[in-house]
């Protein structure tokens, strides 16, 4: 596991690890379900690594990435001359995975006409290369993954029920990152060190306010999105203190599918509009006009949602909305269990407001 750098210790993630431990030693088919970027492929590799097959190949096939006309020969192989363009004999991924694990990724995209063939191979553990009458006996453990609702696809006859049941012997559902926020600080630490090492940098301080923004974000793209954001943050960081363009993250949040309530959506829409108008509220091109609201109504809504502008060096000070132009904004975030490796002086009141980046505060406590 450590070789795979599987980070996480939240209850939900530990439940996933328990299921890996249960199923790895046996040869049963596993179906991994989860939103994009939740780690389906790394979990498939973890199952392989924890299984007695770990010294044999782990072969991945992305059913969505291979044109359907080629998928059959990609899976089962072909003889030379089996079809136009088959200039040489090809082994096929099933045979490559013999004695190991075959990972059928994006299984929901497997064409319907190929599904009965796959079922037959899984049941008999025998393949015939295209253009060959010879049967090859195999020993392959199959792990499949999808981010689609496969059962619904079965109901709509987009996926065969018999294949569904054959693959879904032991389901593992990966929780989205927003449901295991406890893991975010550890993942952030891990990715910061990983990318800093790669980029030849030394970053030893993750400001607490940055960590809290990262914990607060909903991460519709899950761990992959977090990883990309941290990689970008490491690229722009010049010193030992991690820098992050919070505004960019918030702008993405505005369009996030993870927005839960009408109030969340309203708040995100206001922030996005303010961003778009460069924090100009009034006037013909201001945010209020864009939103079809009187200026005073928008200000009231900003106060209600606690979208503040910076008016003093102390970001915890409740600002008054005096000017019309905002070059920075603060967003209140709930108190999170942050693992920031350098801490920031906590203000007395609980309703904190945070800024994009402020070197003075970022290094506080970390120097």
* Distance, CA of 338 to CA of 140 (rounded, Å): 43
Q: Is 49 a binder of ligand ATP (CB under 6 A)?
A: no
> CB neighbours of 289 closer than 8 A, spacing ≥ 6?
283
Residue number of the CB closest to Mg ion reads 41
Shorter beta-carbon distance to ligand ATP: residue 148 or 343? 148
Q: How many residues bind Mg ion (CB under 5 A)?
A: 2
Q: Is 6 a binder of ligand ATP (CB under 6 A)?
A: yes
Token pair belonging to 235? 């690229």
Q: Is 147 a binder of ligand ATP (CB under 6 A)?
A: yes
Q: Is 41 a binder of Mg ion (CB under 5 A)?
A: yes
Shorter beta-carbon distance to ligand ATP: residue 45 or 253? 45
List 38, 51, 237, 253, residue binding ligand ATP (CB under 6 A) = 38
Shorter beta-carbon distance to ligand ATP: residue 235 or 263? 235
Cα–Cα distances in angstroms (integers) from residue 252 to residues 278, 288, 308, in the given order: 16, 21, 19
Residue 8 contacts residue 18 (beta carbons within 8 Å): no
Q: Is 109 a binder of Mg ion (CB under 5 A)?
A: no
Residue 182 contacts residue 10 (beta carbons within 8 Å): yes
Query: Residue 38 CB, nearest distance to ligand ATP (Å)?
Result: 5
List 20, 24, 39, 217, residue binding ligand ATP (CB under 6 A) = 39
List 1, 18, 22, 36, residue binding ligand ATP (CB under 6 A) = 36
* Distance, CA of 336 to CA of 52 (rounded, Å): 40
Burial class (CB in 10 A: 0-12, 13-18, 19+), 94: buried
- The number of residues making up the chain comes to 367
Shorter beta-carbon distance to Mg ion: residue 40 or 361? 40
Q: Is 194 a binder of ligand ATP (CB under 6 A)?
A: no
Shorter beta-carbon distance to ligand ATP: residue 207 or 221? 221
DSSP string, 14-26: HHHHHHHHHHTTS
Shorter beta-carbon distance to ligand ATP: residue 147 or 277? 147
The option from ligand ATP, Mg ion, none interacting with 224 (CB < 5 to 8 A, set by class) reads ligand ATP
Shorter beta-carbon distance to Mg ion: residue 40 or 180? 40
Instruction: List Cβ<8 Å contacts ≥24 apart for 299-305.
Output: 301/266, 301/270, 302/270, 305/263, 305/266, 305/267, 305/270
Q: Segment near ligand ATP (CB under 6 A), from 36-44, 113-121, 290-298, 330-338?
A: 36-44
* Distance, CA of 67 to CA of 54 (rounded, Å): 30
DSSP string, 236-247: H--SSB----HH
Residue with tokens 């088959």: 86
Token pair belonging to 337? 């269990």
206-235 mask for ligand ATP (x: CB under 6 A)?
-----------------xx--x--------
The option from Mg ion, ligand ATP, none interacting with 34 (CB < 5 to 8 A, set by class) reads ligand ATP
Give strand pairing partners of 130.
Answer: 78
Shorter beta-carbon distance to ligand ATP: residue 7 or 276? 7
Residue 311 contacts residue 317 (beta carbons within 8 Å): yes
Residue number of the CB closest to ligand ATP reads 39
Query: Residue 155 CB, nearest distance to ligand ATP (Å)?
Result: 22
Shorter beta-carbon distance to ligand ATP: residue 37 or 315? 37
Nearest-5° Cα angle at 75, 71 to 77: 105
* Distance, CA of 236 to CA of 5 (rounded, Å): 24
Q: How many residues bind ligand ATP (CB under 6 A)?
A: 16
Q: Is 315 a binder of ligand ATP (CB under 6 A)?
A: no
Residues of span 214-243 touching Mg ion by CB under 5 A: none
Residues that bind Mg ion (CB under 5 A): 40-41
Residues that bind ligand ATP (CB under 6 A): 5-8, 34, 36-42, 147, 223-224, 227
């Amino acid at each position: 596991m450590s070789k795979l750098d599987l980070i996480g210790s939240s209850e939900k993630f530990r439940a996933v690890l328990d299921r890996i431990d249960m199923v790895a030693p046996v040869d049963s088919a596993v179906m991994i379900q989860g939103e994009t970027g939740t780690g389906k492929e790394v979990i498939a590799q973890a199952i392989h690594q924890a299984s007695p097959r770990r010294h044999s190949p782990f072969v991945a096939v992305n059913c969505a990435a291979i044109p359907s006309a080629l998928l059959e020969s990609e899976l089962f192989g072909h003889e030379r001359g089996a079809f136009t363009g088959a200039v040489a004999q090809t082994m096929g991924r099933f045979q490559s995975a013999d004695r190991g694990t075959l990972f059928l990724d994006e299984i929901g995209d497997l064409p319907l006409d190929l599904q009965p063939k796959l079922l037959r191979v899984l049941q008999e553990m025998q393949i015939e290369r295209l253009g060959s009458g010879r049967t090859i006996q195999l020993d392959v453990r199959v792990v499949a993954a999808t981010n689609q609702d496969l059962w619904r696809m079965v109901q709509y006859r987009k996926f065969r029920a018999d294949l569904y049941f054959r693959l879904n012997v032991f389901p593992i559902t990966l929780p989205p990152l927003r449901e295991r926020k406890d893991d975010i600080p550890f993942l952030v630490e891990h990715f910061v060190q990983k990318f800093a090492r790669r980029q030849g940098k030394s970053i030893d301080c993750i400001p607490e306010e940055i960590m809290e923004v990262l914990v607060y974000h909903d991460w519709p793209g899950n761990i992959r999105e977090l990883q990309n954001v941290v990689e970008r943050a490491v690229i722009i960081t010049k010193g030992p203190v991690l820098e992050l363009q919070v505004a960019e993250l918030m702008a993405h949040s505005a369009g996030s599918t993870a927005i839960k309530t009408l109030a969340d959506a309203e708040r995100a829409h206001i922030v996005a509009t303010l961003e778009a108008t460069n924090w100009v509220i009034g006037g013909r091109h201001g945010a209020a006009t864009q939103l079809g609201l009187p200026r005073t109504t928008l200000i009231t809504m900003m106060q209600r949602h606690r979208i503040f502008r910076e008016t003093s060096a102390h970001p915890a000070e409740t600002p008054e909305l005096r000017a019309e132009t905002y070059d920075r904004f603060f967003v209140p975030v709930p108190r999170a269990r942050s693992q920031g490796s350098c801490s920031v002086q906590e203000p007395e009141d609980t309703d904190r407001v945070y800024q994009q980046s402020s070197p003075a505060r970022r290094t506080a406590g970390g120097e």
